Structure formats: structure tokens, C-alpha cells
Amino acid sequence: MTMDSTATADRTGTADTAARRRQQQIRQLCAASIRALAADPALDFRGDHLYRGRSVLPLNAPHLYPDQAADGFGSFRGAADGMALRLLHSDAALHARLRPAGQTARLVFELLEQFRAESLAGQPGVVRNLRVRHEAWSTQFHRSGLTETSLGLLLYTVAQVCRSRVTAEPVVAETEDLIEQTRGRLSALLGPDLALLRRTRTRQTNYAEPALAIAVVIESLADTAQADNDGGAERSARKTREQFSLLVDAEDDAWLPETAASGASPTLADDGGAYRAFTTAYDRVQRAASLVRPELLHDYRRRLDKRIADSGVNVALLARRLEPLLCVPVTSGWNSGQEEGMIDGARLSQLVCSPAERRLFQTERHEARPATAVSFLIDCSGSMKQHGEGIAAYVDVFLRALERIGVATEVLGFTTGAWNGGKAARDWKRARSPRRPGRLNEVNHLIFKDADTNWRKARPGIAALLKTTLYREGIDGEAVQWAARRLADRTEEHRILIVLSDGSPADGATALANDEHYLQQHLATVVRGLEDSGAVNVFGVGLGLDMSPYFSRSLILDTERLGQPEGVRELTGLLERSLPPPR
């Protein structure tokens, strides 16, 4: 790599780090603002969602979730103020009882209640922030092309007209002409109800009557608009949902993820934070493929291949997205005969013979060199067995893409050798059950694929994830330490550990003999130590679970998206946002 390209990479990496740091600072400032405005000290951001303590708050209005990097501080602050006003002025239980059942009707009702809360803002600064956020969301919606469909234009016009009526502010000027025809049609259908919105905005129950009437009418119009769209209703609705999260879940907030349980351990506190195991005599590290009959392993692999083929994930495209994150450009020679670049001394004679000749230059040729090792660590506790096939497909897709760009990969797992402590618990009882024994089970670490085995040879071993009898209990902290040590032995400059789990550490015998938070606090301590050292980039992927109590960089993955393009894009996006380019 040349000095110029090295300097450029350094500047890029520094800029990315500074940008992430600024985004985090903005998020913290906005969280403080929400706590002050809503008079609730328990509020805080985790990822894109607002939490009260360990519970995520069901704030479903789409404009409350800006792209912080794209929309800037003002827009994010406006969204934060909108959240605070919603908590301050809206009774969540009453709102839940009143909202309609239809999906589109719920969306409209959700928007109208949010607009009501925002209309009650008293401070001029807050009003200005809310307006900035509304204009940013409106512009993004329009410029994305969603207003080009009948459904998109209808929903957009409803948002503009209803907010204008409730807040007494004008619609966004950029799209005023665009919505005029639809606006006139809605005014004719909804005139009396629109007029009532501002009059009743101070009383939630009274306001709900015209809001519900409007929502029902819009749902009827939306059904017609969807059917009229090119490509049919399904494709149009899917595009709207994926790009702007416009349609809220039809279930009663069932989409809201739980947060992983965590807490301080009295036992560790009494021991000065020193974690220990009662015995390691029965701990094992095993090749997962050796624990499954070859015939059964072959059947598992066939099932896995079919699931991956049906998923439609573009492995080549995934590899291209991952390459700039995990590889560094190195000089591999020169391209001669160029019309610009550095003068090629070997071609100067051509300038004498052919004065018009312009192909006298050469440019450096670069190729991508792998600079990263990636390890997937999979929780093989009992609750994960239902996700075994999905997790295997999910990881397998990444392995194929990473192998295309030459990145070394491992797939590891962790479970226990027995339920309820096994031989370790038996030895503890024989020793008359001393107090605070520490970890009290047989650790069983599994290797599904090691870094020195290519994907093709490791295919049977990966399929062992489908073997449900491997799944028992989980000693997460020790597993993360083990996986990190394996990565530390690699020669690559950068190391990434991705932990996939659906819950907190859980081992019955250990919890009963110590306390319920013993393993949880150990995991948090281990991850924090790795993050502080910077030796390994650690990411947590929670299956329908918020893993942020343990991992500062985490992803909540819908289990229905395992192995699907959407789930793959979510993890890739997390890596793109979190990793500076290798240099």
C-alpha cells in the first residue's frame, strides 16, 4: 500500500470513529432531554428504541425513528422531543384499548395520537425541533419514490393534512402541489372529523372519536389504493414497510423485543469479583461432527442446503459488501498503457515515434488482501434447539461469502455436558456442598468449523447444529473467553467475534449454589474487558432479544428472518456501521 493510500485509510478510519462517537453523544444528549421533558429518570436509548428500565416503549409512529447519520442532530432531537411529549401527554393503556384492529387503521390512529401529543408542545424550541423532524421525514418519504404509488401518496397526504389540522402549521411546501388533489378528496370525505381534531386535542378520549373515524375511512381507501398499484398490493405494502417501517404490527405490540436479564451477583461481590469453577475436570472441547452419526449428518446437510437455496440470499453480493470491511487493498503490480497516472519510462520512446500517443502512463494495481478473522459463537442451550436449522443457514451463508474474499472463519458453540450440574454437581455434594462453589457444571465447547478448514470440507460439521440433543445449558462468559483466545492465536490484524443467543446465561446448578446473577455478571465482565482492550471486536446477535445489557454493539434479529436476505442485511449493516475500514 502506498503512503498516500495508507494516509487516506487512516483519515477514513479516524473520521468513521469520530462520526460514531458523535452519534453516540447525540443519542445520550437526546436521552437526557427526554428524561427532563417527560420527567422520568428511567428513560434511556438502547439502539434505536426508547426504554423505561428494561422495558422497550411501544412508540410506533414512523417519524420517531430517524436515520441519525443522514438526518442530523436537529432531526434526531425532534424525534426525541416527540417521544417525550407522547409519554407526557398520552395514556398508553387508554390508547391500547381504543386503537382499531386493522393494520392501516392502526397506523393512522398511531400517527394521529402522536400528532396530538406534539401539538401540546409549549416551548418554542421544542415546536421548532418537531417541525424540523416532520420536514425531514416528509422529504425522505417523498424523495424515496413512495409517493409515486397510490397507497404511498394516500398515506403521505393523510400525514400532512392531519398534522397541519392538529398543530395549525402548514403542510410541507415541497410537496404541497403534489398532494393537492388527494387533499381535496380527503377534505370532502373527512371534513367534520378533521375539524374536530384541533378542538379536542387536549382530551385524549374525545380526540379518539374523530381519529378513529378518520382511520376507518383511510383503511377503506388504502385497500382500494393497494389493489390499484402496479405489481399488486403485497409488493407495495412490503416496500413501504421495509423502507420506512410505516405499517405497525397487527398484533398487540408482539413485535417488541424483550431485554436480556442481567444483574449484579452478590457472590461475585463477596469474592471481590473473582469468578471460579468448582471443578474443570469434566470440561471438554469436541468436534461437533463426531457427535452425530454420518448418515444423520448427511440428512441434516441436505435439509440445510435446501433451506439456503430457498432463501434467495445473493452470496456474491454479500461478499462484495463485506470485502471493504474485512480486507485491505495491497499493491500487486502496475497497469501499463494508461492515459493518466505516473509516467511509464518504458514507453517514452513511443512519444518520439508517435507524438500524439497518450497511453504513456501506468497506474498501481491493487487487490484485496484478507486482514480479518471472524468467529461465530453459537449458544447451544436448550431454548436454542428450535432455531438450530435457521442459525445454521444464517451462519452458512456468511461463511460462503467470507470464503469468497479469503477471510478465515470459525463456527463454535457452547453447551454443557449434562443438565443440573452433572458430575461437577455430584462432586460438590460429595464435598459436603461448600458455600459459593462458583460454576457448577460440565462445560462442553463445540467446534463446528475451525479457521483452517475451508467451507466445503466443513459442510458436514456445520450441519451438526441441527442435532437437538447437543442443546443443554449455557455458560456464556467462559465460552466467550474461549472463543476470544482462539481468535487471539490468529495472525490476522483484526478479529471479530459474533455471539448468537436467545437469552441470558443459564445453568440451574450454578444459580442454586451461588445466585441467579452469577453467570450473567461474569458474561458482562468478560465482554466489557474485551471491548475495552480492543483486541477483539465483539458483537451480540439476539434472537428476538435485546442483548444490549451485555454487548454495546448488538442486533435484535427476528427469528423469522434467520437465513433470509433481510436478516443477512441487518447483520451486515451492523458491521458496516460499527467497524472502521481495516488498514
Is residue 77 assigned to a domain?
A: yes
| pLDDT, average across residues 181-203 | 91
Do 359 and 506 fall within a single domain?
A: no
- When divided into structural domains, the chain yields a total of 3
The pLDDT value recorded for residue 391 is: 95
Is residue 31 assigned to a domain?
A: no
The parent domain of residue 352 ranges over 331-369
Is residue 8 assigned to a domain?
A: no
Q: How far is CA 255 from the centre of its chain?
A: 14
Residue type, 232: G
| pLDDT, average across residues 268-291 | 94
The pLDDT value recorded for residue 337 is: 66
Percent of the chain with pLDDT over 70: 83
Per-residue model confidence as pLDDT tens digits over 546-577: 888 899 899 888 887 787 788 898 899 888 88
Do 309 and 434 fall within a single domain?
A: yes
Q: Which of 582, 412, 417, 561 is nearest to 497 (CA)?
A: 412
Strand order in the sheet with 443-449: 284-287, 443-449, 408-416, 372-379, 494-501, 537-543, 554-557
The pLDDT value recorded for residue 429 is: 95
Burial bucket for residue 79 (CB in 10 Å: 0-12, 13-18, 19+): buried
The pLDDT value recorded for residue 480 is: 97
Do 363 and 384 fall within a single domain?
A: no
Residue 240 has pLDDT above 90, yes or no: no
Place of cell 452433572: 422
Do 287 and 421 fall within a single domain?
A: yes
Do 426 and 354 fall within a single domain?
A: no
Q: Per-residue confidence at 581, pLDDT binned at 50, 70, 90?
A: low
Residue 7 has pLDDT above 50, yes or no: no
Say which residue, 360 or 487, is predicted with more confidence: 487
Is residue 13 assigned to a domain?
A: no
Q: What is the CATH number of the domain that holds 460?
A: 3.40.50.410
Residue 4 has pLDDT above 80, yes or no: no
Per-residue model confidence as pLDDT tens digits over 67-120: 654 555 667 888 889 999 999 999 988 998 998 988 788 889 999 999 999 999
The pLDDT value recorded for residue 226 is: 61
Identify the domain boundary among 244, 277, 309: 244
Is residue 50 assigned to a domain?
A: no
Residue 545 has pLDDT above 60, yes or no: yes
d(CA 31, CA 52) in angstroms, rounded, equals 11
Q: How far is CA 114 from the centre of its chain?
A: 25
Do 461 and 429 fall within a single domain?
A: yes
Is residue 351 assigned to a domain?
A: yes
Do 215 and 106 fall within a single domain?
A: yes
Do 190 and 305 fall within a single domain?
A: no
Residue 311 has pLDDT above 90, yes or no: no
Per-residue model confidence as pLDDT tens digits over 376-397: 999 999 999 999 999 999 999 9
Residue 513 has pLDDT above 90, yes or no: yes
Do 162 and 107 fall within a single domain?
A: yes
Do 188 and 298 fall within a single domain?
A: no
Is residue 58 assigned to a domain?
A: no
- Give the least confident one: 25-29, 442-446, 537-541: 25-29
- Give the least confident one: 29-38, 144-153, 534-543: 144-153
The pLDDT value recorded for residue 374 is: 96
Do 235 and 297 fall within a single domain?
A: no
For the question of whether the overall pTM of this predicted structure is more than 0.85, the answer is no
The pLDDT value recorded for residue 91 is: 92
Highest mean pLDDT (candidates 43-47, 111-115, 241-245, 311-315):
111-115
Is residue 256 assigned to a domain?
A: no
Do 344 and 419 fall within a single domain?
A: no
